Amino acid sequence: MKIALVTDAWQPQINGVVTTLVELVAHLRERGHTVEVIHPGLFQTRPCPGYAGIDLAVSPYAGVVQRLAAFSPQAIHIATEGPLGWAARRCCLRQKWPFTTAYHTRFPEILKAALRVPLCLGYALFRRFHRPSSGVMVPTHGVMRLLGGKGFNTLRAWTHGVDTELFAFSAQARNNDLLSGLKRPIALYVGRVSYEKNIAAFLDMPWHGSKVVCGVGPLEKELKSRNDGVRWLGVLPRDVLAGVYAGADVFTFPSRHETFGLVMLEAMATGTPVAAFPVDGPLEVLAASQDAPCQRKGGVLSEDLGQASLEALNIPRTEARQQALAFSWEESTRLFVQHLMPIQRKPAFHANRVSDPVFESYLRSTGRYADYLSVRDELIPGVFSQTDVVLSNNFNAHEPRLQVSWGASPSRMLWIGFPPLRGAFVIHDGGRVLAVQGLVELRQQLSAGQAQSQLDP
């Protein structure tokens, strides 16, 4: 399938949304899908106010329209609600193309924290953005319940995965040069240093060991000046970050407004247990234990973040790893493709003002004109809904035939003949000639041939 992914969050940005989308695209391509990513790097950009490191496209509508038209996607997914997302949404609505969206970030809460925008206004804006979506992909059941209560429709459960090879298991906290000299136990935070992450809860909690922050953001300068005893590592390459995860004794996740929290999975994949508040995101990632429903697999949840971090030190690293393994990219990719809404493409008809009237007159004289219209206007668009098709009429060997061409160069081609027998059709496909009876059998044969053409080199 040809999938257009439109996103305001893409490399070189560093955040959980970018990580999720990069992994998704890689797994889609491994499955044989063709993915076109429309991202800010393809446009003129300006920095996002208050968010260093995030650039937004400026007036992208014309460019989005051009790129979507050139790619001719079979499905469109709009991943974010930024300038590119709004431009793609407008284009799809004008073209009457279905599209899916995703709710990766709880922006209403961010707008309230950063700009004091009332939650009701923030949710009204985002509800409007997602209203025409054929499916709003949501990473947790908790967020799905939240959005459902806010009036969002067509919600679809879409969990995320983690790269368990990159974030390899370590049976004990490893020594790491970036953590050298620090008193253990080491509590680690990874993520943006920004309003919505509630990082102050981590920095202020009582702790008898060391605290490490890995990330950057708009609050970094202010918080650094107030927290001299914290080691600030900034942004690290993914392979280096994996070593830092494995070197920590506990991963403390202070956010209360997270849609998922991929960093928790990355930490647990290395064996590092998680401490977090009992809110959406952590409640989904740290599943309840079947033997003891009040306990969580791979970490500890509590309203006392310091106490949760202390208790998480007793969680076996093997348990944390096992919980991370429950989130696979294979399943995440399968769900994503399942939720996509294919674009039903209408065939292009190459009319001939001279011969077409003669062609149609002959079909009327043999009583086949109604069947011809059913094949041309209903059957062919249904069978070839995911392919650009060109139709034309012609007489070949004195038999009226509908020519069907599709696919990239060299294109595939077949002819459907309309002999003067009620309900009879003849399929001419290369050297194969097949007589069929009735529209149902004709659809079955064409569908089988279309499926085979997708497999042929």
CATH code for position 86: 3.40.50.2000
Domain stop point among 317, 339, 361? 339
Q: Which has the closest alpha carbon to 137: 228, 5, 230?
A: 5
Distance CA 56, CA 39 (A): 9
Q: How confident is the model at residue 454 (pLDDT cuts 50, 70, 90)?
A: very low
CA distance 333 to 319: 25
Residue 2 host element (H or E): strand 2-6
Same domain flag for 233 and 207: yes
pLDDT band at 449, cuts 50/70/90? Answer: confident
Please check whether residue 169 lies inside any domain of the structure: no
Confidence class for position 431, pLDDT limits 50, 70, 90: confident
Give yes or no: residues 384 and 411 share one domain.
yes
Joined together, the tokens standing for residue 404 give 């069907």
Is residue 240 domain-resident?
yes
Report the residue count for the chain.
457
> In sequence order, what are the residues at sequence separation of 6 or more whose Cβ sits closer than 8 angstroms to the Cβ of residue 358?
none
pLDDT at 114 over 80: no
Q: Which two tokens stand for residue 312?
A: 């998480």
pLDDT, residue 455, reads 38
> 294: number of CA atoms within 13 Å, CB side?
1
pLDDT digits (tens, 9 = 90+) for 224-234: 999 989 999 99
d(CA 212, CA 310): 15
* Helix and strand counts by DSSP (H, E) for the chain: 18, 20
Would you state the pLDDT for residue 450? 65
For the record, the structure tokens of 160 come out as: 């995320």
- Token output for 387: 């392919």
For residues 201 and 306, state if they share a domain. yes
DSSP secondary structure, 82-120, as one string: SHHHHHHHHHHHHHT---EEE--S-HHHHHHHHH---HH
Q: Which residues is 77 bridged to in the sheet?
A: 5, 100
Q: Same domain, yes or no, for 9 and 137? A: yes
Lowest mean pLDDT among 197-211, 319-333, 378-392: 378-392
Confidence class of residue 397 from pLDDT cuts 50, 70 and 90?
A: low
181 and 314 assigned to the same domain:
yes
Task: Quote the CA–CA distance of 24 and 14 in Å, as a whole number.
Answer: 15
Within 10 angstroms of residue 400's Cβ, the number of other Cβ atoms is 23
pTM attached to this predicted model = 0.73
Last residue of a domain, one of 285, 315, 339: 339
Query: Is the predicted pLDDT of residue 457 greater than 60, yes or no?
Result: no
Cα–Cα distances in angstroms (integers) from residue 313 to residues 214, 272, 307, 322, 364, in the given order = 20, 9, 10, 16, 82
- Domain for residue 172, yes or no? no
Q: Is residue 408 part of a domain?
A: yes
Tell me the pLDDT tens digit for each residue of 171-194: 999 999 999 999 999 999 999 998
Domain ranges, residue 406: 348-455
pLDDT, tens digit (0-9, with 9 covering 90-100), for 49-92: 767 678 999 999 999 999 999 998 989 999 999 999 999 999 99
Query: What average pLDDT does this structure show over 124-132?
Result: 96
Q: Do 323 and 185 fall into the same domain?
A: yes
Q: Are 393 and 403 in contact (CB under 8 A)?
A: yes
Regarding whether 154 and 185 lie in a shared domain, the answer is: no
pLDDT in tens, 9-55: 999 998 889 999 999 999 999 999 999 999 999 999 999 876 767 89
- Where a domain ends, among 268, 294, 327? 327
Angle, to 10 degrees, between the axis of helix 238-247 and the axis of helix 262-269? 70
Please give the tally of structural domains in the chain.
3
For 66, residues 6+ apart whose C-beta sits below 8 A from its C-beta are: none
Judgement on whether residues 11 and 157 belong to the same structural domain of the protein: yes
Q: Tell me: do 396 and 432 sit in the same domain.
A: yes
Is residue 170 situated within a structural domain? no
279 and 385 inside one domain: no
- 50 and 116: one domain? yes
The answer to whether residues 267 and 202 belong to one domain is yes
